[in-house]
Amino acid sequence: MKKTVNQKAWFLVLPVLLLVGFSAVIPLMTVVNYSVQDTFGNNQFFAVGLEWFEEILHSERIHDALGRQVLFTSIILLIEIPLGIFIALHMPKKGFWASACLILVALPLLVPWNVVGTIWQIFGRTDIGLLGHTLASFGIDYNYTQNVLDAWITIIIMDVWHWTSLVVLLCYAGLQSIPSAYYQAAKIDQASNWNVFRYIQLPKMMGVLLIATLLRFMDSFMIYTEPMVVTGGGPGNATTFLSIDLVKMAIGQFDLGPAAAFSLIYFLVILLVSWAFFTIMTNIDKEEK
Amino acid sequence: MAKITLSNLAHSYIENPKAKEDYVLKPLNHEWDDGAAYALLGPSGCGKSTLLNIISGILTPSQGSILFNDVDVTFADTTNRNIAQVFQFPVVYDTMTVRQNLAFPLKNRGAKEEYIKQRVGSIARAIQVEDILDKKASGLTADAKQKISLGRGMVREDVNAILFDEPLTVIDPHMKWELRTQLKALHKELKHTMIFVTHDQTEALTFADKVVVMNQGHVLQIGTPEELFSKPAHTFVGYFIGSPGMNVFESKVNGNIADLQGTEIKLNKTYKTLNGKVELGIRPEFIELCEEGEGINVEIMRVEDVAHHKIVRAKYNNKKINIIVPEDIKITPSMNSIKLKPEGINVYVDDWLVQGELL
Amino acid sequence: MNNSKIKTGFFSSKSPTIMLIYIIFLMLPVYWLFNMSLKTNEEILGTFSLFPNNLTFQNYIVIFTDPSWYWGYINSMSYVVLNTIISITVALPAAYAFSRYKFLGDKHLFFWLLTNRMAPPAVFALPFFQLYSSVGLFDTHIAVALAHTLFNVPLSVWILEGFMRGVPKEIDETAYIDGFSFFAFFTKIFTPLIASGIGVAAFFCFMFSWVELLLSRTLTSVNAKSIAATMTKTVSASGVDWGVLAAAGVLTLIPGAIVIYFVRNHIAKGLSLGRV
């Protein structure tokens, strides 16, 4: 649709601007403030320039957390995106079962994040959890609170349980939008099932796949609650991802300066990668038009 | 290339159809010649798309059978019928180049490299896409994409028939003519059986050797554009074809005299006793406007000048009648009578044409 | 329409096995929670069974009768509803502006809004804590509601804009010609047309606000304590009250399930921010 130029539209946008500005800009300014100051205690601050940034960028602890985060995000993207596509291709398209599947598949997305953690915390325990107990009865030594590998596996499976449905729903919507004429043409061309997937279904799902990947990247990079509830970041700091580390620093240790610097760098990283995704997304959008 | 036979073919979308209305396609028995170009013409909902889908195999008819070259294919899968179909909107594989698109059906059948190259080359030449052969299909115009859809269908030499489901719907008006011409040329050159579904009479009449006019699931008439024009077999055909369509009046017919609501008209054929709703049909082209008193009086409502001729909208006994007057004849206010040319008068009983004996 | 026997390509769902396995995978942990919620703590810690041996609703009764529990739910519902109302109300005019007009800085503003969705809540935990404390809004519903608008308003604007794009501008123009004021047009004509969009946006506001823990715990302590916060503090001297915890968890699933049902056909469109 052709949009008309109208500067008075700013009035319509003003409420949003004020609200989000209040919520975003003021706190961010506080954070920026802290990031360049140090304190003697008793609320007395003095400027220290970029000292905190330097410390953070060189901090081994942060590097470790970043490393863990990158590993985590990569693994879950590698699992959730293909799995999501796979499931979406198998979802019924219409009828009662289509609605039933939609609701059941969407359910994990609406569980409060701490409850997600609680569910899996219980599920994985060898004394009262179905998963833990079953594994133990097969003689497998499984303990997510003490074994690093077990902790990682538990958290990854939990995230797959929690968020794959997002990818499934998006891909499902993408698939629904393909007109049946394409499938008919493929039949006439005697295309194999694999060719149908490669040349018709996958290209048509590219748009939603990109959105799914962007959303999963962003959200997994910020993950806090679920691993916190299940492992508390442990054993040790084996599952301490970036957000967990940041909160420990800011609220736990009240190390305001480093925490603030950390926050800004954190935000920036997400912003950059998301902006890259977003640009690719809109370019694909333009190409299709 | 195949001869297509429809044997007692009918279709209903309802599980257990009872009444006639439940059928979207009423029982048909027809044979379509090998290598001919047909148009399925009719208004929306007349069943033409249903018929096309039965031919292509997307739909299995609820009754009857369909044969290609006398082989029953009623339950055969689309893949095994060796047909090609061009849809309402272009269906191309966006991620492939034009060349790859055209080669795709042959590749899937395991054809040899050189054969593919040769076929793609000759088809590309025929549909005039040689200059864009290596471009990606996604960025092309709608008409180019439709040509590629068509090309993909023709690239197989053994294709039985090419089916078109209102393919010019998304094409810009000025390209429609261009594409139609190319389609006609292709048909002349390659002689495939082509079936073209449309609701646009111009497309149908200019493209096809024979036109199948359908309405409400019935096939009303199959004939050349000429036959459809001069001898419409059904009042609907008369009304649908021509612009404006045929004028239809209730009448009584006795022998070779017709009583057109009070006025006596001499016919050039004689008819036996007719039972049922009797109507006279005459096309505007066969009505002559003349001076008052020389013919039947009518009330002139409007004169529309459409460059090549004039359309006179008039009323006879409060019923609308359209008259076409050639452009060289000047219309004066005193010309408010009409003469009906006997060779253009058709008699219909219960909407169907009745043949009379020529006098 | 074709009653086609078309196989939908690769992975045609001839067998529902795959779907079945996936759904079992999703429902098993939920079932386990439900199972636990119907057992007493003794049974949970003592025996291990797939069904409760002595089915009891005691855990649920505790939640419905203990103020510290049921207030958690009431508090959470309060700020979620509050947040949804605020977010949608504010987002509607903005989304309208983005979908109909070009103005100075519009593209940048639109993108900036999206960046807020990308902000890690962890970054805002401390600043929000200080901000809301300083204006005296600590431990109130409105604080959490406002805090969540940071993420929900951009989301709502994006979703609503996506839906509004689908309504032709000609409808607006016809309304003005017919003499409607902007406000009347917006409420009487425009809103019904984008009703499903509002539903989707509201669903997502609900979703993000209901599930969030970090900010809702940081900004509340007693009066507005969310159910999430209540649940993470159920360790007492006698150990964790598993039965009650499980029951509390099960109860948090119900609002979500109800809401999904109403918007099930539009979920995907909203997830893609209105762009599919």
pLDDT in tens, C38-55: 888 777 777 777 777 778
pLDDT of residue C249: 85
pLDDT of residue C267: 67
**pLDDT band, residue A74 (cuts 50/70/90):** very high
Domain that holds residue B51: 4-240
Cα gap B102→B100, rounded to integer Å? 5
Q: What is the CATH number of the domain that holds B233?
A: 3.40.50.300
Residues 6 or more apart whose CB falls under 8 angstroms from that of A79 comprise A156, A160, A164
Query: Please, which residues 94-113 of chain C have a Cβ atom closer than 8 Å to chain A?
Result: 94, 96-104, 106, 109, 111, 113
Which of A24, A111, A270 minimises the CB distance to C150? A24
Q: How many CB atoms lie within 10 A of CB A38?
A: 15
Is B149 in contact with A185 (Cβ distance < 8 A)? yes
**pLDDT band, residue C88 (cuts 50/70/90):** very high
**Residue A289 pLDDT exceeds 50:** no
Is B13 in contact with C6 (Cβ distance < 8 A)? no
**Residue A284 pLDDT exceeds 70:** no
Task: Tell whether B280 and B178 lie within a shared domain.
Answer: no
**Residue A213 pLDDT exceeds 90:** no
Q: Domain total for chain B?
A: 2
Is B94 in contact with A182 (Cβ distance < 8 A)? no
Cα gap B65→A138, rounded to integer Å? 61
**Residue C3 pLDDT exceeds 60:** no
pLDDT of residue A270: 82
Residue from B55, B56, B79 to probe the interface with A (highest A Cβ count within 10 Å) = B79
Task: Tell whether B178 and B261 lie within a shared domain.
Answer: no
The CATH classification number of A59-288 equals 1.10.3720.10
* C62 shares contact with chain A (CB less than 8 Å): no
Is A190 in contact with B105 (Cβ distance < 8 A)? yes
Task: Tell whether B156 and B296 lie within a shared domain.
Answer: no
**Residue A42 pLDDT exceeds 90:** no
Task: Tell whether B267 and B337 lie within a shared domain.
Answer: yes
pLDDT of residue C16: 80
How many beta-carbon pairs under 8 angstroms link B with C? Answer: 10
Residues 6 or more apart whose CB falls under 8 angstroms from that of B359 comprise B256, B268, B269, B270
Mean pLDDT of C58-72: 84
Tokens at residue A41, please? 């205690």
**Residue A83 pLDDT exceeds 90:** yes
Is B318 domain-assigned? yes
pLDDT of residue C10: 41
B91 vs C165: which has the higher pLDDT: B91
Of the listed ranges A40-44, B335-339, C182-186, C262-266, the one predicted with least confidence:
A40-44
Task: Tell whether B85 and B34 lie within a shared domain.
Answer: yes
**pLDDT band, residue A288 (cuts 50/70/90):** low
| Percent of the residues in chain A that have a pLDDT greater than 90, as a whole number | 10
Name the amino acid, one letter, at C272: S
pLDDT of residue A145: 82
Task: Tell whether B205 and B257 lie within a shared domain.
Answer: no
Is B58 in contact with C1 (Cβ distance < 8 A)? no
pLDDT of residue C164: 85
Which of A181, A184, A199 minimises the CB distance to B93? A199
Cα gap A248→C172, rounded to integer Å? 52
Residue B94 C-alpha, separation from nearest chain C C-alpha, in angstroms: 17
Task: Tell whether B267 and B231 lie within a shared domain.
Answer: no
Is B245 domain-assigned? no
Query: Please, which residues 15-54 of chain B have a Cβ atom closer than 8 Å to chain C?
Result: 53
Q: What is the CATH number of the domain that holds B277?
A: 2.40.50.140
Q: Of B217, B240, B263, which marks where a domain is finished?
A: B240
Which of A102, A211, A250 minimises the CB distance to C272? A211
**Residue C175 pLDDT exceeds 50:** yes
pLDDT of residue C4: 40
Cα gap A228→A247, rounded to integer Å? 11
Task: Tell whether B31 and B174 lie within a shared domain.
Answer: yes
Residue B111 C-alpha, separation from nearest chain A C-alpha, in angstroms: 13
pLDDT of residue B70: 86
Q: What is the pTM of this model?
A: 0.79
Q: Which residues pair with A125 in a beta bridge?
A: none
Query: Please, which residues 241-270 of chain C have a Cβ atom closer than 8 Å to chain A?
Result: 242, 245-246, 249, 252-253, 255-257, 259-261, 264-265, 267-269
pLDDT of residue C237: 53
| Percent of the residues in chain A that have a pLDDT greater than 70, as a whole number | 94
Q: Of B240, B264, B295, which marks where a domain is finished?
A: B240
Task: Tell whether B203 and B283 lie within a shared domain.
Answer: no
Domains of chain C: 17-46 (no CATH), 67-232+247-271 (1.10.3720.10)
Q: Of B240, B269, B304, which marks where a domain is finished?
A: B240
Of the listed ranges A132-141, A280-289, B18-27, the one predicted with least confidence:
A280-289
B321 vs C13: which has the higher pLDDT: B321
Tokens at residue C24, please? 């079992």
Task: Tell whether B181 and B317 lie within a shared domain.
Answer: no
Task: Tell whether B73 and B161 lie within a shared domain.
Answer: yes
Give the position of tokens 């019904």: C192
Residues in chain B with pLDDT < 50?
Answer: none
**Residue C198 pLDDT exceeds 80:** yes
Contacts A200 to B, Cβ<8 Å: 93
